[in-house]
Structure 1
């Protein structure tokens, strides 16, 4: 399935241009439509109002959220206009309380083939940035492409690292990424410290490689030892060694609460990545 409906969301002007540029490259390559959504967030309320909350305070918070929405809309509009007349796109702007951001993004993501976002971590990123990513994947059921500051080099990445740990999430990510995998010159299925007594102990990644090859993917398997403290570090080094232009991985293999407290391969990869990361749950 090709990506025909692509969504990008901006909750801050920073990173909006990077996400639009990446989404536009994919849209132009696949003759798709790029939808941009600007969100102004009222962070004083969580989706409900407190009894006794002053009308003046609520009004000030809403005005501030509307100003943010306009600033985000301006950044998105400038980025879209810079792509040229061949891009089919649309732009909407909304204001929401912090607790309602997830529902708003999920409603749009459900009808998108792919959601393209800038990194949700960094000095300019607020709590709503991570909420947007999670809402798109969990409630929206859409794969998400996270684009770092360096941007997306090409709509057809030449070399791709596909993280594989035999999980449902990793398999979903591989299937959702097929349009990108099929155009790559090399897809390296990377297995880090496979379990000795696992179902794939004799041929780690072999069945996935067979599945992808039958789809025309130029896939191969690389089994690596966990020579660095974290799996995300091993994957990052693999991307660097192969000069990969994309990392594909399943997102949040265990509970998001534990992921937030302890980190995990998903969060660590997003925080430190220098290449775009394709995520699906």
Structure 2
């Protein structure tokens, strides 16, 4: 399936914010794919449903809501100004949401998009809103997400792609959704780290996946790596650099989000340090 609808979400009113850099990448990708770009300008209502702030009055809550609405309007104006001179098809909408209501709001838009283009949700200057947007698109929206690294406003050509394969449903979902990109790539590297000695692929790790991809016209080879570093993410990123790859495809959140938030995991680690765009699905 071709990529014909892109979605991006802007949560900050700053031309230099990561969200605006991701928007620039989405614009370039929409032009490259001849796709329609939808942008949601989001204002965050910082009040929390179910809690009562001692001494707070209805005026305080109203002021918080009005501030969120003003933030959304400012973000919308900034996005419209950025898109006005572009030669792509685009639309902009604005909304206000509390953190607890983010999933429903984002999922309603993500489920009708082919790809959501977002900045990385972890790292300096990020808050819970960025993480909630990514997770809502992946889980409730059931959409693939392209996470752009900081400072990359122009997406690369995606000619050299590393595919992280661990036989999981999440990894297979990401690969299926990435097929339009993989078909166009000059080289696809199916990367397997410490394959299990017992299992359906024990004698030929990645063989069935490579065969299936070849039938779709994808030129793929298999690389089996040992876990020579403490974190899987470090091994993957070293391999990405060794291959001079410009895209990493991987399944997202094989463990629970709570476990990854507390104990860490490959998804969170990669999104904190990735130097290339990361294509994810769950």
Q: Does the TM-score normalized on the shorter chain lie above 0.5? A: yes
Which residue number corresponds to residue 147 of structure 1?
148
Report the TM-score, using the length of structure 1 for normalisation: 0.94
Which contiguous aligned blocks of 4+ residues in structure 1 show a shift greater than 6 angstroms?
none
- For 1:173 and 1:96, how far apart are their aligned partners in 2? 28
Q: Residues 26 and 155 of structure 1 are in contact (CA less than 8 Å); yes or no, is this contact kept in structure 2?
A: no
- Work out whether 1:42 is the aligned partner of 2:45: yes
- Work out whether 1:65 is the aligned partner of 2:68: yes
Q: Residues 150 and 275 of structure 1 are in contact (CA less than 8 Å); yes or no, is this contact kept in structure 2?
A: no
Which residue number corresponds to residue 119 of structure 1?
120
Q: CA deviation at 1:259?
A: 1.3
- Listed one character per residue, the Cα deviations across residues 160-191 of structure 1 (whole Å, up to 9, x for unaligned) are 11000000100000000011111111110000
2:276 is paired with a residue of what secondary structure? coil
Report the TM-score, using the length of structure 2 for normalisation: 0.94
1:150 is paired with a residue of what secondary structure? coil
Q: For 1:149-168, what aligned pairs fall within 5 Å after superposition?
A: 149-151=150-152, 153-154=154-155, 156-168=157-169
Q: Residues 145 and 278 of structure 1 are in contact (CA less than 8 Å); yes or no, is this contact kept in structure 2?
A: yes
Q: Which of 30-39 and 7-16 deviates more?
A: 7-16
- For 1:64 and 1:153, how far apart are their aligned partners in 2? 32
- For 2:136 and 2:154, how far apart are their aligned partners in 1? 26
Q: CA deviation at 1:81?
A: 3.2
Q: Which of 94-103 and 12-21 deviates more?
A: 12-21
Question: Structure 1 residues 220 and 182, CA, compared in 2 at 3 Å: closer, same or farther?
Answer: same
2:184 is paired with a residue of what secondary structure? coil
Gaps of 5+ in 2: none
Question: Structure 1 residues 135 and 111, CA, compared in 2 at 3 Å: closer, same or farther?
Answer: same
Q: CA deviation at 1:158?
A: 1.1
Question: Structure 1 residues 169 and 209, CA, compared in 2 at 3 Å: closer, same or farther?
Answer: same
- Listed one character per residue, the Cα deviations across residues 212-252 of structure 1 (whole Å, up to 9, x for unaligned) are 11111111101000011100000110111111111000001
- For 2:115 and 2:93, how far apart are their aligned partners in 1? 17
Q: Which of 141-150 and 21-30 deviates more?
A: 21-30
Which residue number corresponds to residue 193 of structure 1?
194
Gaps of 5+ in 1: none
1:182 is paired with a residue of what secondary structure? helix
- For 1:80 and 1:209, how far apart are their aligned partners in 2? 40
Q: Which of 225-234 and 66-75 deviates more?
A: 66-75
- Work out whether 1:81 is the aligned partner of 2:95: no
- For 2:151 and 2:124, how far apart are their aligned partners in 1? 16
- For 1:27 and 1:153, how far apart are their aligned partners in 2? 11
- For 1:160 and 1:177, how far apart are their aligned partners in 2? 10
Aligned residues: 278
1:41 is paired with a residue of what secondary structure? strand
Question: Structure 1 residues 213 and 277, CA, compared in 2 at 3 Å: closer, same or farther?
Answer: same
Q: CA deviation at 1:71?
A: 3.2
Q: Residues 24 and 154 of structure 2 are in contact (CA less than 8 Å); yes or no, is this contact kept in structure 1?
A: no
